[in-house]
Structure 1
Amino acid sequence: MKISIIGSGYVGLVTGVGFAELGHDVVFIDVDEQKVEMINSCKPPIFEKGLKELMEKNRGKFYATNDYASLKNTDITFICVGTPSRKDGSIDLKYVESASKEIGKVLRGKEEFHTVVVKSTVIPGTTEEVVKPIIGKESGKEAFRDFGLAMNPEFLREGNAVEDFFNPDRIVIGVKDERTKKILEKLYEPFNCPKLITDIKTAEMIKYASNAFLATKISFANEIGNICKKLGIDVYKVFEGVGLDHRINPSFFRAGIGFGGSCFPKDVKALIKKAEELGEDPKLLKAVIEVNERQPLKMIELLKKHIPNLEGKKIGLLGLAFKPDTDDVRESRAIPIVKALLEEGAEIIAYDPKAIENFRKFFPQIEYANSAEDVIAKSDAVLIVTEWRDFEELDYSGKIVIDGRRVEKAMREAKIYEGVCW
């Protein structure tokens, strides 16, 4: 098939290059000129494990442009633009609305049936109540008759997105008309995994329910971890035992300093806001966010046990990305930690293998080291914020270490060691 991808961030780029690998012709449409140039040079504008190699392997099977007219020559368009949070927690649909408008304009001049698939994470009802009328108005065509419309949520994990594209746990397709259903079934035919066909609104909700549940598991693990810390119990042994129950999957019981990234915080907040608009009070989801916002500050509490006055002290941060194997710092737990340290008057020296430049945009005033070893050598205490594999090989002897991610070597070697939940 000929596929157009609107938006070339983590989801759009991996999805498009993945389809190119499967033999499809792909065009990326993005308003960011720098991204367009990088993609056409087979240089990923983001760091994602295995993506650069996949792009180079499929050179010539895809190209990028800022011209929406290019989607006229494709059979199917995926909307993969961002849906950031507003201050009240609701999602901002401006990029989805803009993409829908441009798609509609192009479809006005196209006679052939064209399928539009929303892959962006959107609140239930958005595809049919926002995307559909905009495309319909701009194109003069009727959805489900003149053009196809579907919802196909993504379940890619940053840092493992390429692997997840080719080996998904499941594929969910929210669809209304039979023609679009057959097109997407054919597109996803090579994938050997459960494929669930639902109505459009249900597909939208599956994405939110999945992320909200995983976020809940993390906050639950942290609540239990906080209790275990005060009882002198190893919370990881607790969840090793809990995870052996066949009804309880052991994944995501990683107690520590909480979750970040572009999905969990944003999606849980958006679901809370939508629930409130519907007259519901989602107490559990609110608690998930409350625990997560409080959790990274536990590192500061533990640090002050050993250095009560942080003013003028040099505190090292190992890890700035929200998780390892990515350069994404959106909602990184390092952000509230740095803010708290600056308020205490501490000096900060930080290192991350991939995320320094992205983090520098938020905190240009702090010092950035050239290596993790520099952080350890120059600091009065070290905070482990992201569990990069490189940090397992460092020499922590003689140091005060506050560990938010359970690095075993630090636990064994540090002069003074405090785990957040163990």
Structure 2
Amino acid sequence: MKLTVIGTGYVGLVSGVCFSELGNEVVCVDKLESKIEMLNKGEVPIYEPGLEELIAKNKLAGRLHFTTDLTSAVQRADIIIIAVGTPPLPTGEANLAYIHQAAEDIALAMNGYKIIVTKSTVPVGTNEQVGEIINRYSKFPFAIASVPEFLREGSAVQDTLNPDRIVIGSASRDAYEKLSALHSDLTSNIILTDVRSAEMIKYASNAFLSTKISFINEIANICEKVGADVTRVAEGMGYDKRIGASFLQAGIGYGGSCFPKDTQALIHIANSVEYDFKLLQSVVEVNTKQRFNIIDKLHEALGSLQGSRIGIWGLAFKPNTDDVRDSPAIEIINKLLELGATVQVYDPIAMDNFRREITDASMIQWAENAMQAAVGCDALCLLTEWSEFSSIHLNDLARVMNQSILIDGRNSYSSEQIMNSTFEYYSVGRPNLTKIVSDTVPLAN
């Protein structure tokens, strides 16, 4: 099939590249000339494992192209995929300006029948607006469909090529048939539904996963007070097929470009129809508070943070990505600076992006590696669970620090690693491993 993807962010770029990998002819369009120039040179504007190799492979095969010429890209395509950003407005509502502009641009460029797919995360009713805009500016027939994405940054290529399910919402039989065929090599779990339900499925999915994260973090906070181990609790819960083990890892909360934006957008959608979504409001509140538990644990370990030197491991909101949007590290570091601490930071991938995001980059000491970020520190905080951090030997780490205090915001270290070290160790929802001696009940690793 001939596809055009409008927008080369995470969703658009990964989707377009993976569709070309399936043998389709794909043109990816973006208004930013610098980004298109970069992609045409074989350079990738985002860090996503496996993506660079697939771009090179499919460009060489002649199946993948990048351009700023939207008109020609629309006219050559059978299916046009809208994958532009829907950033939050101050109210929490999704900003649909880019969606509306893309719809208008498509309409003005159309030269015949097209299937127009919205893959961006949009509020219920948005695809109807897209249809109205296209009708306003184009005389040609078209079909509208909603095919929401369920990608995880850091594993987006894998998720695209091996999806749990594909959701196709449309009122057009032709769109159902062609889009089902487009995705048939990926999975047999293809859900055909109406457009509004497809739009809601995306929001409901992310809201539920966000709820699961906030729930286990609340359990972790209780575990700390009663002396239970949340890793054991989560393990016991996860074997229940009705619950499942995924997204039951206690920590400092979710971040990134999806969960924070989508939970707020769904709350706004509920408010717009006069429904008070109290559960999701609590999920957001819990997540906001959870990241500041790091500060509480530092106060517990050090007292006043004025004049202290704090090392930070991890700036991206999760491992295997350079995305720092709404990363817990932003608020944590800003708070540390406000409290008078000196902050030394390191992340294997996200340093440059974080420099652009943080309020005052000049106040931060930027380390070249993980050990350098820990040198002379009174405490070290692990905020992103990059595998290289937990592989560092703790006794080597202790030798370069001023005090052996480790705040593990992602429960990355095993009980054995901690018990064989000299560290005063603070985790999330686990017993104080430095004070526990047990030869009858093994601790979770």
How far did residue 414 of structure 1 move? Answer: 5.0
Looking at structure 1, the residues matched to 278 and 92 of structure 2 have their Cα atoms a distance apart, in angstroms, of 15
Looking at structure 2, the residues matched to 61 and 191 of structure 1 have their Cα atoms a distance apart, in angstroms, of 18
Looking at structure 1, the residues matched to 298 and 208 of structure 2 have their Cα atoms a distance apart, in angstroms, of 31
Whether 1:78 and 2:81 are equivalent positions in the alignment is: yes
Q: 8 Å contact 2:344–2:374 — kept in the other structure?
A: no
Q: 8 Å contact 1:299–1:420 — kept in the other structure?
A: no
Looking at structure 2, the residues matched to 15 and 171 of structure 1 have their Cα atoms a distance apart, in angstroms, of 13
Residue 152 of structure 1 aligns with an amino acid whose one-letter code is V
Distance verdict in 2 for CA 1:61–1:414, change over 3 Å: farther
Matched with 2:247 is 252
Q: Identify the range of structure 1 (308-317 vs 253-262) with the bigger mean alpha-carbon deviation.
A: 308-317
Whether 1:225 and 2:225 are equivalent positions in the alignment is: no
Looking at structure 2, the residues matched to 224 and 189 of structure 1 have their Cα atoms a distance apart, in angstroms, of 40
Q: 8 Å contact 1:376–1:396 — kept in the other structure?
A: no
Partner deviation per Cα, 1:244-294 (whole Å, 9 max, x = no partner): 122111110011100001111110100001101101000000000000000
Whether 1:37 and 2:37 are equivalent positions in the alignment is: yes
Residue 85 of structure 1 aligns with an amino acid whose one-letter code is P
Residue 322 of structure 1 aligns with an amino acid whose one-letter code is F
Percent pairwise identity: 47
Matched with 2:340 is 345
Q: 8 Å contact 2:39–2:66 — kept in the other structure?
A: yes
Matched with 1:215 is 210
How far did residue 106 of structure 1 move? Answer: 0.4
Partner deviation per Cα, 1:92-131 (whole Å, 9 max, x = no partner): 1111111111011101xx0x31111000000111111x21
Residue 325 of structure 2 aligns with an amino acid whose one-letter code is R
Looking at structure 2, the residues matched to 178 and 254 of structure 1 have their Cα atoms a distance apart, in angstroms, of 42
Which one of the candidate residues 63, 66, 69 is aligned to 1:64? 66
What does residue range 192-211 of structure 1 map to in structure 2 within 5 Å?
192-211=187-206
Which one of the candidate residues 422, 425, 439 is aligned to 1:417? 425
Residue 302 of structure 1 aligns with an amino acid whose one-letter code is K
Matched with 1:166 is 161
Q: Identify the range of structure 1 (76-85 vs 307-316) with the bigger mean alpha-carbon deviation.
A: 307-316
Looking at structure 2, the residues matched to 318 and 415 of structure 1 have their Cα atoms a distance apart, in angstroms, of 16
Q: Which consecutive residues of structure 1, in runs of 5 or more, have no partner in the other structure?
A: none
Other structure's SS at 2:98 match: helix
Whether 1:131 and 2:133 are equivalent positions in the alignment is: no
Looking at structure 1, the residues matched to 422 and 109 of structure 2 have their Cα atoms a distance apart, in angstroms, of 61
Partner deviation per Cα, 1:28-73 (whole Å, 9 max, x = no partner): 1111122101211222110001111111111232111112112211
Which one of the candidate residues 361, 372, 375 is aligned to 1:374? 372
Other structure's SS at 2:388 match: helix
Residue 418 of structure 2 aligns with an amino acid whose one-letter code is M
Other structure's SS at 1:421 match: coil
Other structure's SS at 1:361 match: helix
What does residue range 325-336 of structure 1 map to in structure 2 within 5 Å?
325-336=320-331
Matched with 2:298 is 303
Looking at structure 1, the residues matched to 338 and 234 of structure 2 have their Cα atoms a distance apart, in angstroms, of 35
Other structure's SS at 1:120 match: coil
Which one of the candidate residues 284, 288, 298 is aligned to 1:289? 284
Q: Identify the range of structure 1 (384-393 vs 36-45) with the bigger mean alpha-carbon deviation.
A: 36-45
Question: TM-score by structure 1 length?
Answer: 0.96
Looking at structure 2, the residues matched to 382 and 395 of structure 1 have their Cα atoms a distance apart, in angstroms, of 14
Residue 62 of structure 1 aligns with an amino acid whose one-letter code is L
Distance verdict in 2 for CA 1:313–1:403, change over 3 Å: same
Looking at structure 1, the residues matched to 376 and 325 of structure 2 have their Cα atoms a distance apart, in angstroms, of 27
Partner deviation per Cα, 1:354-402 (whole Å, 9 max, x = no partner): 1000000022221211000111224221000000011111133332111
Q: What is the RMSD of the two structures over their aligned residues, measured on CA atoms? A: 1.2
Q: 8 Å contact 1:239–1:250 — kept in the other structure?
A: yes
How far did residue 411 of structure 1 move? Answer: 3.5
Other structure's SS at 1:273 match: helix
Looking at structure 1, the residues matched to 406 and 32 of structure 2 have their Cα atoms a distance apart, in angstroms, of 41
Q: Identify the range of structure 1 (51-60 vs 277-286) with the bigger mean alpha-carbon deviation.
A: 51-60
Other structure's SS at 2:66 match: strand
